[in-house]
Amino acid sequence: MASYLSTDKKKITATRFMAMKGEGDKIAMLTAYDFTMARLLDEAGVDAILIGDSASNVMIGNATTLPITLDQMIYHARCVANGAKHAFIVADMPFGTVHGDPQVALAAAVRMMKESGVDAVKVEGGHQVADSLKMILDAGIPVVAHLGLTPQSVNKLGGYSVQAKEEAEAEQLLSDARLVEELGCCGLVLEKIPSALAKQVTESISIPTIGIGAGNETDGQVLVCTDMLGMTMGFKPKFLRHFANVGVQIQEAVATYCREVKAQTFPNDSESY
């Protein structure tokens, strides 16, 4: 087995995750939502796995991330935590759990950590959720922040367009990045912002930045696993690269299976008892 497919590695903790920036070790992060995919990603050498609230779209079929519940996110996070032994595992706090009473936010984050076994939670927003971030962090829970295009705010933002293109918005994003660093977050996802701004943010803070649609000057990258594997048919935003065409391969395999079942060529004698 190739070395990069070995799980004989030390667990990536929040401390190790943060140290990767200073060492110039770019962080490869992907999403996962189940045990089998998490194990495959982990054994392939991914540094971090995000149980994104994109599970709302990918696993359930909702149009947005908003409907997924805390209980559903905990379920998917537990599946991933059971499958990944090396990667740094981060779970999204779903819509409605952190934008309000900080005590409620803390209770939700505590549930996520206790019931799923993940290493950290991810929270969308900056100054708007500062009180919740502080309370969660003060409880000893590692937090990865998320700025730029924040999908939970899709209705307010009016869609999924590039964010912080104007000077005032860019300044606010930079201010929020410095704020989440000051509060003690261990990382920052930057989604769908100009690459020049992502570079500026990355150079301005000491915690690692993980980009998605934010250019290649961030400290790492994240993609939805089913998107980069070519399983999300018909979805191809500018920032997405298909590293495989698994969707077509699955369809072809299933079509072959159906033909062989109907022709009674499966199972054959060697596959029968």
> Which residues are known catalytic residues?
191
Q: Which letter, b or e, does each residue of 116-151 get, where b requires 16 or more Cβ atoms within 10 Å of its Cβ? A: bbbbbbbbbbbeebbbbbbbbbeeebbbbbbbbbbb
Q: What count of other Cβ atoms lies within 10 Å of the Cβ of residue 162?
A: 15
Do residues 249 and 237 make contact, with C-beta atoms less than 8 angstroms apart? no
Please state whether beta strands 88-92 and 27-31 pair in parallel, antiparallel, or not at all (unpaired).
unpaired
Burial class (CB in 10 A: 0-12, 13-18, 19+), 55: buried
Chain centroid to Cα 104, Å, comes to: 23
- What's the CA gap between 57 and 265, in Å, rounded? 37
- What's the CA gap between 21 and 29, in Å, rounded? 14
Alpha helices (runs of H) in 84-192, residue ranges in sequence order: 102-116, 130-138, 154-157, 167-183
